[in-house]
Structures are given as structure tokens and as C-alpha cells.
């Protein structure tokens, strides 16, 4: 009944996956900080609030947590920090039991618009420039399959 | 001179990559906590100290930081927390300017040996069971290429 250990190819893929993430995230965070004073966590929230899923550049706190896979307390602390810097505003809805909203401010929109080009450039240079397009398609499919499994077992 | 935005396939791959990582990490962390009281960060340190790269189950602080792509302060805080729980011991070398070591304790080894089977089972169920072996090979190559790019531009 014991689970077989990972095979050599699987180990190589898994260690690569874990290591690339850690190092890419560290690099992206550093670049964001230097170029625009944003952290990777700031950027992730701003991306959510400017995505097409956020109507009127607004999202519920709990939805942000679900999309980013962050615990409630982490979302709350992050939003508090960003609110202090004028990037977002928290809006309470007394009539709505599903909790409060986070709204993007003009300053928040300006911040992500200023940061995005250099961010995309880095992602291209570190990732897409060295990954053949065929592998990009595979990766897209692979992540879709894993997300479906995560959803099915939540 | 502007960088082209990500194309639709690239966006799908990149968002998938970011989202799978966040959700898998959250799931793995939760499972570790429930099953063994370890955090994902504890586990990452224990993996490093039991890997073949760590001779005598010991590693320098700064090497742990490099391998995990963590900042110095994060490594230090994490090691302090783990030391308080008896999983590792920090050892200062007054003659060695390259800083202190972290040694695995017997309790630390017992902790990772107890946690590993369920961890591998989860990684299999969420990842390798839904990813064809051919894609595993591609992923291994892809991560190798990205790591080489990261190294070359560090």
C-alpha cells in the first residue's frame, strides 16, 4: 500500500519546478522592488484587481484569497499595507454578509501600469525566451490538468 | 523598443504556472501541518539537510539561502524557529569567516522521515498522476533551461 517514491525523471522535474519557482519569484520580487517599490505580493493583488475577473476594479477579500491561494489573515495584512500606501481602499458593506471589498485606487492603477512593462520584459527574458513555443503549449495544458485535480479534491 | 506583451498561449501558460504553484504550495503546506505539524518552510530546510548536497546532514546558513532563494533574514528566522523545536542546531565557527552552520538533529531526521511518505503521495496525486510522462520530461528540460538563464544573469 505504500506510495512509490518519485522516479529519477519525476525528481528532476519536481526539483526543477520548485527551484525555478523560488528563484524566479525572488528575481521578480527584487526587480519590482528596485524598479517600482512594489513587492511581488503587491503586484499579485494589483493584477487581480485589474484582471477582467474584477468588475469595476474591485474584488471581495475572500475572492482575492481564493485566487491567490492565500490565507485570510495574509490577504488582510497585505491589503492593510497597501491601503496605507494608497494603492487600494477597503470598503465594508454592512448589508452584505459576504464581507468587505477591496477597490483599486487611481494610484494603484498608475503603479501597476508603471511596473508592468519591466515585469513582462523580465518574465520574457527569464522564461519565454528559453522555452520553445511547443513546450509553452504543453505547460499550459499541464497546469490546466493540475488545477482541475486540485479543484476536484478541494 | 517596447517589449511585446505576452501572447494568449504564453498568458495561459504563465497564469497556469503561477496559479498551480500557489495552490499546490497551499495544499502541501496544509497537508504537512495537519499530518506532522511541519510547515512547508520547515520541510524545505529539512529536505536540504537530508539531500546528498549536505555532507553530514549539515549546511552553511548562506548556502541554504542560496538553494532556497531566501533572503538571509528569512533563513535566520526560520532556523531560529526550528531550533526552538529541536529540529536543527545552529553551530557557530569562530575560525570560519563564512558564517555558521545548521546541523540536522535526530529529531529533525525523524520528522522528515515521518512526513515524507504522505508528502510524496500528495505530490503524486496532485501532479504526476495527471501529467503524462512525456510532459514530465519536457518540464524537467524546461526548468533546466530557465535555471541556466537565471544563473547566467545573476
Q: Please report the ipTM that was assigned to this predicted complex.
A: 0.87
Residue A2: predicted pLDDT? 56
Binned at pLDDT 50, 70 and 90, residue A98 comes out as low
β partners of residue A103: A58, A89
In A31-53, which positions are buried (b, 16+ CB within 10 angstroms) versus exposed (e)? bbeeebebebbbbbbbbbbbeee
What is the full DSSP assignment across B140-154? HHHHHHHHHHHHHT-
**pLDDT over 60 at A1, yes or no:** no
**pLDDT over 70 at A110, yes or no:** yes
Is the Cβ–Cβ distance between A44 and A66 less than 8 Å? no
One pLDDT digit (tens) per residue for chain B, 154 residues = 456 789 999 999 999 999 999 999 999 999 999 999 999 999 999 999 998 887 789 999 999 999 999 999 999 999 999 999 999 999 987 776 768 999 999 999 999 999 999 999 999 999 999 999 999 999 999 999 999 999 999 8
Binned at pLDDT 50, 70 and 90, residue A52 comes out as confident
Select from B100, B105, B102, B120 the least CA-distant residue to B35: B120
| Largest Cα–Cα separation, chain B | 57
Residue B145: predicted pLDDT? 95
Q: Do A146 and B2 touch (CB under 8 A)?
A: no
Under DSSP, is residue A39 helix (H, G, I), strand (E, B) or coil? Answer: coil
Is the Cβ–Cβ distance between A147 and B23 less than 8 Å? yes
- The H or E element spanning position A47 is helix A40-50
Query: Taking residues A45-50, what's their average pLDDT?
Result: 94
- The nearest CA of chain B is from the CA of A3 a distance in Å of 6
Under DSSP, is residue A106 helix (H, G, I), strand (E, B) or coil? Answer: helix
Q: Nearest 5°: CA angle at A70, between B69 and B20?
A: 65
- The nearest CA of chain B is from the CA of A97 a distance in Å of 26
Q: Do B21 and A24 touch (CB under 8 A)?
A: no
Going by the DSSP 8-state scheme, the letter that residue B108 receives in this structure is H
Nearest to A16 among B68, B124, B143 (CB): B143
Residue B91: predicted pLDDT? 92
Q: Do A19 and B147 touch (CB under 8 A)?
A: yes
Q: Do B147 and A16 touch (CB under 8 A)?
A: yes
Residues in A closer than 8 angstroms to B127, CB to CB, are 14, 146
Interface test with A, best of B1, B4, B8, B17 (most A CBs within 10 A): B17
Amino acid at each position: 500500500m505504500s506510495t512509490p517514491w518519485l522516479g529519477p525523471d519525476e525528481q528532476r522535474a519536481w526539483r526543477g519546478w520548485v527551484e525555478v519557482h523560488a528563484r524566479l519569484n525572488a528575481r521578480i520580487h527584487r526587480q519590482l522592488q528596485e524598479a517600482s517599490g512594489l513587492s511581488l505580493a503587491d503586484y499579485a493583488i494589483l493584477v487581480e484587481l485589474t484582471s477582467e475577473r474584477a468588475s469595476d476594479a474591485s474584488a471581495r477579500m475572500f475572492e482575492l484569497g481564493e485566487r491567490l491561494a492565500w490565507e485570510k489573515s495574509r490577504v488582510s495584512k497585505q491589503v492593510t499595507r497597501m491601503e496605507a500606501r494608497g494603492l487600494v481602499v477597503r470598503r465594508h458593506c454592512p448589508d452584505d454578509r459576504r464581507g468587505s471589498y477591496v477597490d483599486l485606487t487611481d494610484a494603484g492603477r498608475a503603479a501597476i501600469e508603471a511596473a508592468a512593462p519591466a515585469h513582462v520584459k523580465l518574465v520574457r527574458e527569464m522564461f519565454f525566451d528559453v522555452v520553445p513555443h511547443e513546450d509553452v503549449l504543453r505547460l499550459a495544458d499541464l497546469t490546466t490538468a493540475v488545477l482541475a485535480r486540485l479543484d476536484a479534491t478541494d
